[in-house]
Amino acid sequence: MDKHAQISLEFLIYLAISAISLLFILSIYIEGTSELNSSVNNAYLGSFVSAINSNMNYYESNVQLYVPKSICNCTSSNEYLSCAYEKFKLYGNLSITKEICLNSGSIETMDLYYSNGKYMLYSD
């Protein structure tokens, strides 16, 4: 093998190692940001559920709270709010209307009503 071919081969090996290292670092970064986003969403949802639970003692209340965007992917049934892989315990049976998603991601004034054994959450 001549000297020029050997230098080209070494360059290709270094290039391959660099590319693999870059892909490895990129995958770690993507996984880390995904876990961070998940943790932040769970914190927002936990705060949302806590605010709702504290107002479930009243038959009718007006609540001002931050409505996380991830609430649009949640379902509520049998005193639980289920969101992706998390379940949040509610103090009562809650029904969330789809209009809540329209203004999610901001602080909203919500109406919480109790009727026929179920709490209903509406966006003003």
Domain that holds residue 57: 3-123
Q: How many domains does the chain have?
A: 1
How many residues does the structure list for the chain? 124
The overall average pLDDT reported for the chain is: 80
CA distance 121 to 112: 5
Q: What are phi and psi of 86, to 5 degrees?
A: -115, 145
pLDDT in tens, 68-101: 888 877 888 778 888 877 888 888 888 877 777 7
pLDDT for 36:
66
Average pLDDT estimate for 11-28: 87
Higher-confidence position of 66 and 5:
66
User: Which position has the token pair 């009243």?
Assistant: 58
